[in-house]
Amino acid sequence: MRPTLSWTPTGEPSPGTTDLAPVAEALGGGGVLVLSGAGISTESGIPDYRGEGGSLSRHTPMTYQDFTADPAARRRYWARSHLGWRTFGRARPNAGHRAVAAFGRHGLLWGVITQNVDGLHQAAGSEGVVDLHGRLDRVVCLDCGSFSPRRELAWRLEEVNEGFSPVAAGINPDGDADLTDGQVGDFQVVPCTVCGGVLKPDVVFFGERVPPERAEHCRALVREARTLLVLGSSLTVMSGLRFVRQAAQAGRPVLIVNRDPTRGDRHALTRVALPLGDALTDVAGRLGVPLDERAPTETQPPAGPGA
């Protein structure tokens, strides 16, 4: 069975509101659990999947089943991901990430769960972030289970694919660059340095399960939070939607800030249809929470020569 990649609202979709008062009130009361999606990183230059111009209109993400079953699919993936990493690994936090970090520093948050794999919440200063779908800056061997930094793999791939620099049509939220098979060419994949096994980014691919212990930790955070605040997620995939359903069933208020309708709108008290950076900066101002305007830290060291 192919994973759910798209969702079409039934009936007349709600246009949303521009009233940020409920969001400011919830954050002012503390105990807010943030659930963020790709929409919070678009202002950092990382496109989302399903918004206007989203990458799913031109790109089908790699599935776990294809990656593990087909060596040719792995080769295409690593060629595209290696090229995309040169851009993706240098993305910087935006005002939305900085606002979330500021709310955390002021004790207004119960926690942060992100569906993103870019590490930008941590780069902005947020602590204790749960990376629901993993992190693209780490690599795991599917045979021996050993982990290694993505920057080391980038160096190794540069060495065996000297001069590989095709022009991509775009970069996707998972760091995958849009390349044709012709551009992929004879790109070479490298094995695990420990056992010679198959390497995979330490992220949850479409069609793959979130590790049970990580999912349970998120469920515990939802149980203990006062409010669930969804930022920039369409909630199309069940890995995020289930926490919205859990909160609503437990009587916890659910607030959503997302420009487009989401699969969780019917469970929410309100959906604010505003750009996240502006919206969260506005809320921070209302609450007297200063954003840290210092230059954000790099999410990654340089990817390697030629990057």
Determine if residue 233 is labeled as part of a ligand binding site. yes
* Amino acid residing at 143: D
- Residue 307's identity, in one-letter code, is A
CA neighbours closer than 13 Å in the CB half-sphere of residue 153: 30
Q: Which two tokens stand for residue 113?
A: 């769960």
**6 is an annotated ligand-binding site residue:** no
49 carries a ligand binding annotation: yes
Annotated binding-site residue? 41: yes
Any known ligand binding at 64?
A: no
On whether 37 is known to bind a ligand per the annotation, the reply is: yes
Distance CA 82, CA 272 (A): 36
218 among the known binding-site residues?
no
- Known catalytic membership, residue 133: yes
Is position 144 annotated in a ligand binding site?
A: yes
Q: Which of 285, 274, 266 is nearest to 18 (CA)?
A: 274
* Residue 47, marked binder: yes
The alpha carbon of 182 is separated from its chain's Cα centroid by a whole number of angstroms, namely 29
Q: 239 labelled as ligand-binding?
A: no
Question: Is 38 annotated as belonging to a binding site?
Answer: yes
The full DSSP string for 233-294 is ----SHHHHHHHHHHHHTT--EEEE-SS--TTGGG-SEEE-S-HHHHHHHHHHHHT-----S
**Burial of residue 170 (number of CB atoms within 10 Å: 0-12, 13-18, 19+):** middle
Ranges assigned E (strand) in 10-93:
32-36
Q: Is 197 annotated as a binding residue?
A: no
Cα distances (angstroms) measured from residue 181 to each of 67, 135, 168: 16, 26, 12
Single out the catalytic residue among 121, 133, 217, 267. 133
116 annotated as belonging to a binding site for a ligand:
yes
Is 84 among the annotated ligand-binding positions?
no
Residue 165 assigned ligand-binding role: no
Written as six digits, the tokens of 1 are 């069975």
CB within 8 Å of 65: residues ≥ 6 apart: 207
Which pairing describes strands 199-203 and 134-141: parallel, antiparallel, or unpaired? Answer: antiparallel
Annotated binding-site residue? 182: no
Q: Which residues are catalytic?
A: 133
Q: Summarize the annotated binding site for Zn(2+) as residue ranges.
A: 141, 144, 192, 195
Q: Summarize the annotated binding site as residue ranges.
A: 37-57, 115-118, 141, 144, 192, 195, 232-234, 276
Q: Summarize the annotated binding site for NAD(+) as residue ranges.
A: 37-57, 115-118, 232-234, 276
